[in-house]
Amino acid sequence: MRKQDRLYIISLIVVAVICTVGPAAATLSANSLVFKSDGGLHNTDGWRFNSCSYIGTFFSVSGAGNVTFTIRAEGQSAGGVLPAMHLHVADSNTSWTVADNGPANTTYSNYTATYNLPAGTYWLRVEHTNFAVVGSEVRYLYVKSVDISGAGVSLLNSATNANCLAAADSYILNYRRGTATVTLNAQEGGVLPAGTSVRVKLRRHAFNFAGAVHGANWPGFEKLPLANTNPIPGSGDWNHQQLIDSHFNMIAPSECGQWWSNEATRDVHALTDIDNFLNYAQNHNLRARMLHCFWYPLNTANNTIQCNPEWFARTWPTFPLGLFDRALQGDTTASQEAKIEQSERIQYYIRDRSHRYDEVEGINEAYHWNSHQLAWGMQGVADTYAEMQAAGIARTSRVVTLKPLGVTNKNLIGTVTTAGVSNADMLVCA
C-alpha cells in the first residue's frame, strides 16, 4: 500500500470519529447536586426528599438549542396519592406523578423533558411538591440522578457568586426584556414629533432589592438602628444607615415586624418600631416590604408554635396553652377567638399602614409549617389571604405569599379552582 493511501485511510477514520461525537452530556448523582434544601442520602448516591423541598445545580449552554433533562426517580405513595415532581429551568417547567415501583425504593424510572434554551447560564431545580404524612405512610420522593444533554452543555455544579450572577444575567437577557413604546406630550400641547431628541434618566430601578433591618425595642435585642434620626458619623447606627442607603432600594423589618414584638400583651399594640421603620423608608426614598403578618413554625422538638405572642401560641411546653394551641386541639371557642385576633392584627398591621409600604408577606412558610391549615383547613388559609388582600386594597399594596415550596416570594395573580376552596386566587403565585 502506498504511503498516500495509508494517509487517506487514516484521514477518513479521523473524520468518521469526529462525525460520530454526539451532544455533550453530564450526569450527576442526586446527592452530589450542590443545592439540597431538605432531605437525606438514599442508597449511596440518591436523595430522599423529607419535605416539600428541592435539589438543584447550575449549567451553561454555549449556543441556542434543545437541552434534554432526564431524572431517574421513584415515589412512595401515602394515602393513595403518589408524589409530585417538578422540573424548573428558566421559564420552562414540567410536572410528573412519580410511580411507586415497590417497597425497596431502588427501582427508578426515567422522567424526561426537552427545552429549547438560548445560550447562557441556567439554574435547574427538581422539586417535590406534595410531601405528606398520612397515618403511618410517608409520601417520599427518591431521585437517583439528573442527566443534562445537548450541544454545548457544560455542568457548573458549584454555588459560587459567579454562577449565581451569570444565571441571573442570562435570565434577564432572555426572559425579562422587551420592547416598549413611549409617547411624550409637548409642553404646548400635542405629541412630540418622531425623531425629537429627548433626555431619559433612570430615576428608580423597578427591581426590588431589599436589605433586612434587624432590631426591636425588647430586652436582649439590639435596638432598631434606623430609629436613630441623627446618628454620630462612624457609629454603628450611622454605618448601618449608610449601607442601607447606598446598596438597597427597599428595606424589610425583622423582629420589629413580628407579632410577638407588636402585641406581646393581648390587645396592647407596640408599634413604635415598625412605624420608625416605615418613617425611615419614606424619608430616605426607599420602598418598604413588611414582614409576614402571620408565621406558625412548629418546633418539632417540643411540639410548640414559635414566633408568636405567648397568649396566642406558647413557645415552650411548660407555658400555658395559647388560643391557637387550643384551636389545634379542637377547642371551638378558642378557635373563634384566635380568628378574631388574627383579624385585629390584619387591621392594624396591613390595613392601617397599607398607604406606607409596597408589599407585605401574608403567611410565612405556609406550606412548610402548615399549622394554620391544620387548625382551619385549606379553606381557612384561603379566607385569611382574602381578608389580608381586602385590607390592603386601600393602597393596592401587594399581599405576597410563598410558592408551595417556600422557595420564592411572588405576587398573587389569577383565579383557579382548587378542590372546592373559594378565594383560591389568594393561593396562586406568579
Question: Same domain, yes or no, for 168 and 245?
Answer: no
Domain boundary among the residues 174, 200, 222 is at 174
Domain boundary among the residues 174, 201, 230 is at 174
Q: Which residue range forms the structural domain that includes residue 294? A: 210-427
Question: Same domain, yes or no, for 127 and 216?
Answer: no
**Residue 159, all three cell numbers:** 454555588
> What residue ranges in 207-332 does DSSP mark as E strands?
210-213, 250-253, 287-290, 294-295, 298-299, 304-305
Q: Please report, for the domain that includes residue 408, its CATH number.
A: 3.20.20.80
Q: How many residues does the chain have?
A: 430
Res 414: pLDDT: 29
Q: Which of 290, 283, 273 is nearest to 354 (CA)?
A: 290
Question: Same domain, yes or no, for 169 and 232?
Answer: no
**Has residue 51 been placed in a domain?**
yes
Question: Same domain, yes or no, for 257 and 109?
Answer: no
Question: Same domain, yes or no, for 324 and 252?
Answer: yes
The rounded distance, in Å, linking the Cα atoms of 74 and 267 is 51
Q: Above 50 in pLDDT, residue 419?
A: no
The model's pLDDT over 31-86, given as tens digits with 9 standing for 90+, comes to: 999 999 889 999 888 999 998 899 999 999 999 999 999 999 999 999 999 999 99
Residue 128, phi-psi category: left (phi > 0), alpha (psi -120 to 50), beta (remainder):
beta
Per DSSP, the three-state class of 363 is: strand
**Has residue 107 been placed in a domain?**
yes
**408 residue type, one letter:** T
The rounded distance, in Å, linking the Cα atoms of 363 and 253 is 15
The model's pLDDT over 98-127, given as tens digits with 9 standing for 90+, comes to: 999 887 778 899 999 999 999 999 999 999
Question: Same domain, yes or no, for 114 and 243?
Answer: no
**Has residue 300 been placed in a domain?**
yes
The rounded distance, in Å, linking the Cα atoms of 94 and 112 is 9
**Residue 103, all three cell numbers:** 417497597
Backbone phi, psi, residue 60, to 5°: -130, 155
The rounded distance, in Å, linking the Cα atoms of 223 and 273 is 9
**Has residue 186 been placed in a domain?**
no
**Residue 50, all three cell numbers:** 423529607
**Has residue 191 been placed in a domain?**
no
Res 233: pLDDT: 94
Residue 248, phi-psi category: left (phi > 0), alpha (psi -120 to 50), beta (remainder):
beta
Contacts of 198 (CB under 8 A, 6+ apart): 184, 192
Domain boundary among the residues 174, 191, 221 is at 174
**Has residue 182 been placed in a domain?**
no
Question: Same domain, yes or no, for 128 and 33?
Answer: yes
Question: Same domain, yes or no, for 217 and 346?
Answer: yes
Question: How many CA atoms does the CB half-sphere of 15 hold within 13 Å?
Answer: 6
Q: Please report, for the domain that includes residue 80, its CATH number.
A: 2.60.120.260
Task: Give how many domains the chain has, as a whole number.
Answer: 2
**295 residue type, one letter:** W
Question: Same domain, yes or no, for 149 and 266?
Answer: no
Is the Cβ–Cβ distance between 399 and 350 less than 8 Å? yes
Per DSSP, the three-state class of 93 is: strand
Instruction: Give whole-number Cα distances, 417 to 32, 333, 389, in Å.
Output: 38, 31, 18
- Cross-strand bridge partners of residue 412: 429
Is the pTM here over 0.75, yes or no? no
**191 residue type, one letter:** V
Res 23: pLDDT: 55
Is the Cβ–Cβ distance between 174 and 118 less than 8 Å? yes
**Has residue 357 been placed in a domain?**
yes
Res 410: pLDDT: 31
The model's pLDDT over 310-344, given as tens digits with 9 standing for 90+, comes to: 999 998 888 999 999 999 999 999 999 999 999 99
Q: Is the Cα dihedral 424, 399, 368, 112 positive or negative? A: positive
Worst-scoring range by mean pLDDT, 178-192, 220-234, 257-271, 377-391?
A: 178-192
The model's pLDDT over 227-239, given as tens digits with 9 standing for 90+, comes to: 888 999 999 889 9
Question: Same domain, yes or no, for 149 and 215?
Answer: no
Question: Same domain, yes or no, for 35 and 153?
Answer: yes
Question: Same domain, yes or no, for 267 and 355?
Answer: yes
